[in-house]
Chain A
Amino acid sequence: MLAYLPYIFTQLIQPMNLLLMVAGTAVGIIFGAIPGLSGTMAVMLFMPLTYTMESSTAVIFLLALWIGGCSGAFIGSVLLGIPGSASAVATCWDGHPMAKKGQAGKALAIGMTASFCGTFFSAIIGGLLAEAVADFAFAMGPWEYSALCLVAMTMVLAISKGNMFKGLASTCIGILLATVGYSPIDAEARFTFNNMYLLGGLGMIVVLTGIFAVSHILVTFGKGFDAPPEVSKEGLKGFGLTLKDIKDELVNIIRSFLIGLGIGFLPGMGSGLSNLVAYSTAKNGSKHPEEYGHGAAGGIWAPEVANNAAIGGAMIPMAALGIPGDSTTALLIGALTIHGLEMGPMVFKNSGDVVYLMFVTVAVVAALVLLMQAICKRWFPYILKVPSWYMYSALLVICLASAYVDSGNLYKCGMMMVFAAVGILMTLGDLPASPLILAFILTPTLETKTLQAFQSVPKWTEFFTRPVSCVLMVIAIFCIFSPIFKGLFAKLKKKKA
């Protein structure tokens, strides 16, 4: 890694890169803070802008959007009691009560500092561990890779809310969408209906922006926009946190960090789960659990450290294995592929400089986020007051402009509208979104590796005779049926009681 430091330093001090880092961070924080938007959406919408950029510049811009979005999510949780994204759900439970007590400044300061600790240190650990994981991954053949992709797809099912059929159905839709176009290895046209625009596949921007961004805006409008909220500006001056506050929560911080890092590392999991696990662990481990839910500082530290620590954790499998830790890393893998960076064990040999730039950028952006949030803290209420009618009309235009720029033709804009309709139908049918993203991004790798595996040894049983792939397949099968197992365990517990 040390050999790449001069390259990393030169990239980070380039004026254009610095400018995009600051702009990306600011946009990311705004997207993260406003309920309904998210860092993932920011990455999705601005990804086509990076097509003409150098890969290092694109990496810096996209990571700044992502980190800004992850860190900004607590603002809505604290000031409104509405999480900016799923990663900050648990932050609401103590952040908003603390703000209501007139300590909004302190709650925000905890959120900022916790976000910084989680992101900064997880990026350092991620940077140190990723190459070792990649070295281990060299021993994996196509069978193991296929099984790993399956685990990544199915793990998200294990945490899907509602019934497993809906999560699995969403995964199947993602797989079907990913198979449109020429098949890998055999080059057979699938579901193309002799349409030349479909031969190369549907395109990530068109599908994901249509299903998630456009449909989300339309559904939100259908449900009715909320009026701009009244946000108290009380107690927002000064930083609002002392070293003693940090010392008092040190055990909680370290424990939550490890939880976040571990959950982030698991394929398919992410900050959405880590903040909930860290919160409940902090509450159970606290000397005063009765204070949780009424504005306890520990109830803000735990979820915020954990959801940001998941960033570094998720980057390890993303870089070393090419397997996304969550939906945003899935998007980033797609974006980096467009820039010629094929994530996986070989990336350290082929583009080690850019990979380490990624980890250093995350650490630098974490510090930048802290600085920007500390300076702009008193203006946070204004971000939350942006009227929906202006914001969403502008975002819809950006979505369509992204689709046009992505492909250079209006046909893809029309296709995006088709996928927006699919997204609306999915919302009406209560089908979850995350499994679709992961399946759509992972299917090409899964299919290619599986076909390669069959070309080497033409037997299905190989999945279960190789130790690593066997373990992974068992995990995948367990994940698929975990909702049934959970139900059985619950029944057994009831019987025992």
Chain B
Amino acid sequence: MKVKRDQITGLALVILGIVMLVLISQFKKPITAEYPGPRMMPGIAAIGMIICGLGIFVNGCRQKTADKTVITKAGMLRVVITFAALCLYILGMQYLGFLIVTPLLVFGLAVYFAKASHVEVKIWVCIVFAVAVTAIIWAMYVPLFGMELPVGSLFE
């Protein structure tokens, strides 16, 4: 028998709810009938998650039709690659700063997104686009609204 999506979602919610209940039990202030204190809201949410998780799990067990595919395996790989690129970008900003890593990311993503969509893009257009986007965002945040963007620890 194939496991249904709702069964996985339900089970995940139940486990998360139980973990939350364990964490809530470590709060110092107890919950009483006279004053619910800091345990009340997270407690309600955790119990709610367990109940909903069980409900979703049962619905998943009753479901007779097959699940519709939300994202294919190839699509999921694209999501993971983009996600990893964004994490690397954050790390890059830490050391090299916004102005150096942003054009690289925008260029890389624009080319990758277009390739994945089976579209041929001109490299020079992507370079101009990446530089322009970086310049516009930097100009908007830093000189125009007086905010800061990462300079990079190597240049501080």
Query: A residues engaging B (CB < 8 A)?
Result: 48-49, 51-53, 163, 165-166, 168-169, 171-173, 175-176, 178-179, 183, 186, 188, 190-191, 214, 218-219, 221-225, 227, 387-390, 392-394, 396-398, 400-401, 404-405, 408, 410, 413-414, 417, 420-421, 424-425, 427-431, 443, 446-447, 450-451, 454-455, 458-460
In the bound complex, residues from chain B placing their C-beta under 8 Å from that of A175 are: 41-42, 44-45, 48
Q: Say how far A334's CB is from chain B's closest CB, in angstroms.
A: 18
In the bound complex, residues from chain A placing their C-beta under 8 Å from that of B46 are: 172, 176
Q: How far is the CA of A408 from the CA of B20 in the complex (A)?
A: 29
From A165, A178, A447, give the contact of B59 (CB < 8 A): A165
Q: How far is the CA of A207 from the CA of B134 in the complex (A)?
A: 24
- A188 touching B28, Cβ below 8 Å: yes
- Asked whether any CB of chain A lies closer than 8 Å to the CB of B15, the reply is no
Q: How far is the CA of A275 from the CA of B25 in the complex (A)?
A: 45
In the bound complex, residues from chain B placing their C-beta under 8 Å from that of A451 are: 35-37, 40
In the bound complex, residues from chain B placing their C-beta under 8 Å from that of A421 are: 83
- Given A222-B71, A389-B121, A404-B149, the answer on whether A190 and B38 have CB atoms closer than 8 Å is yes
- A393 touching B41, Cβ below 8 Å: no
Q: 16 interchain pairs (CB within 8 A)? A: A49-B141, A179-B42, A183-B38, A190-B38, A223-B70, A224-B117, A227-B119, A389-B110, A389-B111, A389-B117, A393-B105, A397-B133, A400-B86, A410-B94, A429-B8, A446-B41
- A219 touching B71, Cβ below 8 Å: yes
- Count of chain B residues with Cβ under 8 Å from any Cβ of A? 71
- Given A179-B42, A393-B106, the answer on whether A408 and B148 have CB atoms closer than 8 Å is yes
Of listed B6, B41, B53, residue having the most chain A CB within 10 A: B41
- Given A221-B116, A400-B89, A451-B36, the answer on whether A429 and B23 have CB atoms closer than 8 Å is no
Q: Say how far A480's CB is from chain B's closest CB, in angstroms.
A: 10
Q: Say how far A60's CB is from chain B's closest CB, in angstroms.
A: 14
Q: Say how far A413's CB is from chain B's closest CB, in angstroms.
A: 5
From A165, A166, A186, A389, give the contact of B119 (CB < 8 A): A389
- Asked whether any CB of chain A lies closer than 8 Å to the CB of B29, the reply is yes
Of listed B5, B78, B105, B113, residue having the most chain A CB within 10 A: B113
From B45, B75, B89, B133, give the contact of A224 (CB < 8 A): B75
Q: How far is the CA of A186 from the CA of B38 in the complex (A)?
A: 7
Of listed B6, B34, B86, B98, residue having the most chain A CB within 10 A: B86
Q: How far is the CA of A447 from the CA of B36 in the complex (A)?
A: 10
- B149 touching A394, Cβ below 8 Å: no
- A52 touching B45, Cβ below 8 Å: no
**Chain A, residue nearest B35 (CB):** A454
- B93 touching A413, Cβ below 8 Å: yes
From A171, A222, A400, A408, give the contact of B78 (CB < 8 A): A222
Which residues of chain B (1-45) have a CB below 8 Å from chain A? 5-6, 8-9, 12-13, 17, 20, 23, 27-29, 33-38, 40-42, 44-45
- A176 touching B42, Cβ below 8 Å: yes
In the bound complex, residues from chain B placing their C-beta under 8 Å from that of A163 are: 55-56, 59
- A186 touching B117, Cβ below 8 Å: no
- Asked whether any CB of chain A lies closer than 8 Å to the CB of B52, the reply is yes
Interface string of B113-135 (1 = CB under 8 A from A): 11011010100000001000110
- Asked whether any CB of chain A lies closer than 8 Å to the CB of B100, the reply is no
- B5 touching A188, Cβ below 8 Å: no
Of listed B37, B52, B53, B94, residue having the most chain A CB within 10 A: B52
- Asked whether any CB of chain A lies closer than 8 Å to the CB of B61, the reply is no
Q: How far is the CA of A388 from the CA of B113 in the complex (A)?
A: 8
- Given A165-B52, A188-B27, the answer on whether A417 and B147 have CB atoms closer than 8 Å is no
- Asked whether any CB of chain A lies closer than 8 Å to the CB of B145, the reply is yes
Q: How far is the CA of A387 from the CA of B38 in the complex (A)?
A: 48
In the bound complex, residues from chain B placing their C-beta under 8 Å from that of A168 are: 48, 51-52
Q: How far is the CA of A413 from the CA of B149 in the complex (A)?
A: 12
- A397 touching B82, Cβ below 8 Å: no
In the bound complex, residues from chain B placing their C-beta under 8 Å from that of A53 are: 145
Q: How far is the CA of A214 from the CA of B78 in the complex (A)?
A: 14
Q: Say how far A55's CB is from chain B's closest CB, in angstroms.
A: 15
**Chain A, residue nearest B36 (CB):** A454
- B45 touching A179, Cβ below 8 Å: yes
- A450 touching B49, Cβ below 8 Å: no
In the bound complex, residues from chain A placing their C-beta under 8 Å from that of B33 are: 458, 460
